[in-house]
Amino acid sequence: MKKSDADYNSSLKNICINNNIKLVSCESCTGGLLSFEITKIAGSSEYFDRGFITYSNASKCSILGVSDKTIQRYGAVSRQVAKEMAIGGLKNSDAQYSVSITGIAGPGSQGAKPVGLVWFGMANRYISVAKKRNFGPLGRNAVRDESCKHALNLLIEFIRSTIK
Protein backbone atom coordinates (compact mmCIF):
# COMPACT_ATOMS: atom_id res chain seq x y z
CA MET A 1 0.00 0.00 0.00
CA LYS A 2 1.44 3.32 -1.05
CA LYS A 3 1.42 6.31 1.21
CA SER A 4 -0.84 9.13 0.12
CA ASP A 5 0.28 12.74 -0.16
CA ALA A 6 -1.65 13.49 3.03
CA ASP A 7 0.28 10.74 4.88
CA TYR A 8 3.64 12.17 3.80
CA ASN A 9 2.61 15.69 4.76
CA SER A 10 1.22 14.54 8.11
CA SER A 11 4.39 12.59 8.91
CA LEU A 12 6.56 15.53 7.89
CA LYS A 13 4.49 17.96 9.96
CA ASN A 14 4.64 15.74 13.05
CA ILE A 15 8.37 15.10 12.91
CA CYS A 16 9.16 18.78 12.33
CA ILE A 17 6.86 20.16 15.02
CA ASN A 18 7.87 17.53 17.58
CA ASN A 19 11.55 18.32 17.01
CA ASN A 20 11.31 22.10 16.47
CA ILE A 21 12.60 21.79 12.89
CA LYS A 22 12.29 24.34 10.10
CA LEU A 23 12.62 23.25 6.46
CA VAL A 24 13.77 24.83 3.23
CA SER A 25 13.25 23.45 -0.26
CA CYS A 26 15.49 24.09 -3.26
CA GLU A 27 13.90 23.09 -6.54
CA SER A 28 14.79 22.98 -10.17
CA CYS A 29 12.82 20.56 -12.36
CA THR A 30 9.79 20.61 -10.03
CA GLY A 31 9.50 24.40 -10.33
CA GLY A 32 7.91 24.97 -6.92
CA LEU A 33 5.73 21.88 -6.84
CA LEU A 34 7.51 20.52 -3.75
CA SER A 35 6.93 23.76 -1.85
CA PHE A 36 3.29 23.60 -2.93
CA GLU A 37 3.01 20.03 -1.63
CA ILE A 38 4.59 20.90 1.72
CA THR A 39 2.34 23.93 2.21
CA LYS A 40 -0.89 22.08 1.29
CA ILE A 41 -1.37 21.13 4.91
CA ALA A 42 -2.66 23.65 7.44
CA GLY A 43 0.00 24.69 9.92
CA SER A 44 2.92 24.28 7.54
CA SER A 45 4.09 27.80 8.38
CA GLU A 46 5.21 26.37 11.74
CA TYR A 47 7.92 24.29 10.05
CA PHE A 48 8.39 25.48 6.45
CA ASP A 49 10.73 28.48 6.30
CA ARG A 50 10.95 29.06 2.55
CA GLY A 51 11.41 27.58 -0.87
CA PHE A 52 13.84 28.47 -3.63
CA ILE A 53 13.00 27.81 -7.27
CA THR A 54 16.30 27.81 -9.11
CA TYR A 55 15.37 26.56 -12.53
CA SER A 56 18.31 28.01 -14.43
CA ASN A 57 21.96 27.23 -13.80
CA ALA A 58 22.62 30.92 -13.20
CA SER A 59 20.00 31.03 -10.42
CA LYS A 60 21.46 27.92 -8.78
CA CYS A 61 24.76 29.81 -8.59
CA SER A 62 23.52 33.28 -7.64
CA ILE A 63 20.79 32.30 -5.17
CA LEU A 64 22.08 29.06 -3.64
CA GLY A 65 25.81 29.47 -4.16
CA VAL A 66 26.24 26.40 -6.34
CA SER A 67 29.66 26.56 -7.95
CA ASP A 68 29.63 27.26 -11.69
CA LYS A 69 32.65 24.96 -11.89
CA THR A 70 30.61 22.14 -10.37
CA ILE A 71 27.86 22.62 -12.95
CA GLN A 72 30.39 22.75 -15.80
CA ARG A 73 32.18 19.61 -14.61
CA TYR A 74 29.25 17.41 -13.56
CA GLY A 75 26.18 19.05 -15.09
CA ALA A 76 23.18 20.57 -13.33
CA VAL A 77 21.65 17.12 -12.89
CA SER A 78 24.25 15.51 -10.64
CA ARG A 79 24.99 14.37 -7.11
CA GLN A 80 27.34 17.29 -6.60
CA VAL A 81 24.82 19.96 -7.64
CA ALA A 82 22.02 18.38 -5.58
CA LYS A 83 24.23 18.51 -2.48
CA GLU A 84 25.40 22.07 -3.15
CA MET A 85 21.79 23.17 -3.66
CA ALA A 86 20.74 21.64 -0.32
CA ILE A 87 23.68 23.21 1.51
CA GLY A 88 22.99 26.57 -0.15
CA GLY A 89 19.38 26.43 0.98
CA LEU A 90 20.50 26.11 4.58
CA LYS A 91 22.97 28.97 4.25
CA ASN A 92 20.26 31.25 2.85
CA SER A 93 17.46 30.46 5.29
CA ASP A 94 16.59 29.97 8.94
CA ALA A 95 16.01 26.25 8.41
CA GLN A 96 17.75 23.31 10.07
CA TYR A 97 16.96 20.85 7.25
CA SER A 98 17.04 21.25 3.50
CA VAL A 99 15.87 19.23 0.52
CA SER A 100 16.81 19.82 -3.11
CA ILE A 101 15.64 18.43 -6.43
CA THR A 102 17.41 18.68 -9.78
CA GLY A 103 16.51 16.53 -12.74
CA ILE A 104 15.30 16.03 -16.26
CA ALA A 105 11.50 15.99 -16.43
CA GLY A 106 11.41 15.95 -20.21
CA PRO A 107 10.44 15.83 -22.90
CA GLY A 108 14.06 15.57 -24.11
CA SER A 109 17.19 14.13 -22.51
CA GLN A 110 20.38 16.09 -21.82
CA GLY A 111 23.21 14.29 -23.57
CA ALA A 112 23.88 11.02 -21.78
CA LYS A 113 21.39 11.87 -19.02
CA PRO A 114 17.98 10.39 -19.74
CA VAL A 115 14.51 11.81 -19.20
CA GLY A 116 13.34 10.89 -15.73
CA LEU A 117 16.77 11.11 -14.06
CA VAL A 118 16.47 13.10 -10.83
CA TRP A 119 18.94 13.82 -8.04
CA PHE A 120 17.76 14.67 -4.52
CA GLY A 121 19.88 16.41 -1.91
CA MET A 122 19.27 16.58 1.83
CA ALA A 123 21.29 18.51 4.35
CA ASN A 124 21.41 19.67 7.92
CA ARG A 125 24.17 21.59 9.68
CA TYR A 126 26.37 18.49 9.97
CA ILE A 127 25.82 16.28 6.94
CA SER A 128 24.67 16.38 3.35
CA VAL A 129 23.67 13.46 1.17
CA ALA A 130 22.39 12.93 -2.34
CA LYS A 131 20.31 10.15 -3.82
CA LYS A 132 19.53 9.35 -7.44
CA ARG A 133 16.32 8.02 -8.93
CA ASN A 134 15.49 7.32 -12.54
CA PHE A 135 11.73 7.44 -13.01
CA GLY A 136 12.00 6.74 -16.72
CA PRO A 137 10.07 8.51 -19.48
CA LEU A 138 6.78 8.80 -17.56
CA GLY A 139 6.04 12.19 -19.07
CA ARG A 140 6.96 15.61 -17.76
CA ASN A 141 4.20 16.06 -15.18
CA ALA A 142 4.45 12.50 -13.87
CA VAL A 143 8.22 12.84 -13.35
CA ARG A 144 7.63 16.08 -11.45
CA ASP A 145 4.86 14.55 -9.31
CA GLU A 146 6.84 11.41 -8.53
CA SER A 147 9.91 13.52 -7.73
CA CYS A 148 7.96 15.45 -5.10
CA LYS A 149 6.62 12.30 -3.45
CA HIS A 150 10.07 10.75 -3.45
CA ALA A 151 11.65 13.92 -2.04
CA LEU A 152 9.16 14.00 0.84
CA ASN A 153 9.88 10.37 1.65
CA LEU A 154 13.65 10.88 1.50
CA LEU A 155 13.41 14.00 3.66
CA ILE A 156 11.38 12.22 6.33
CA GLU A 157 13.87 9.32 6.35
CA PHE A 158 16.81 11.74 6.50
CA ILE A 159 15.37 13.71 9.42
CA ARG A 160 14.51 10.53 11.33
CA SER A 161 18.03 9.18 10.82
CA THR A 162 19.75 12.36 12.01
CA ILE A 163 17.69 13.71 14.91
CA LYS A 164 19.17 13.03 18.29
The total of structural domains in the chain comes to 1
Question: Torsion-angle region of residue 73: left (phi > 0), alpha (psi -120 to 50) or beta?
Answer: alpha
What single DSSP character describes residue 45? G
CATH number for position 83:
3.90.950.20
Q: Which domain holds residue 109?
A: 5-162
Cβ-contact 61, 68 below 8 angstroms: yes
Please report the pLDDT score of residue 4 as a whole number.
Answer: 61
- Tens place of pLDDT for every residue, the chain, 164 residues? 355 666 767 899 999 999 999 999 999 999 999 999 999 999 999 999 999 999 999 999 999 999 999 999 999 999 999 999 999 999 999 999 999 999 999 887 777 889 999 999 999 999 999 999 999 999 999 999 999 999 999 999 999 999 97
The structure's pTM equals 0.94
Please report the pLDDT score of residue 112 as a whole number.
Answer: 81
d(CA 115, CA 100): 18
Please report the pLDDT score of residue 1 as a whole number.
Answer: 33
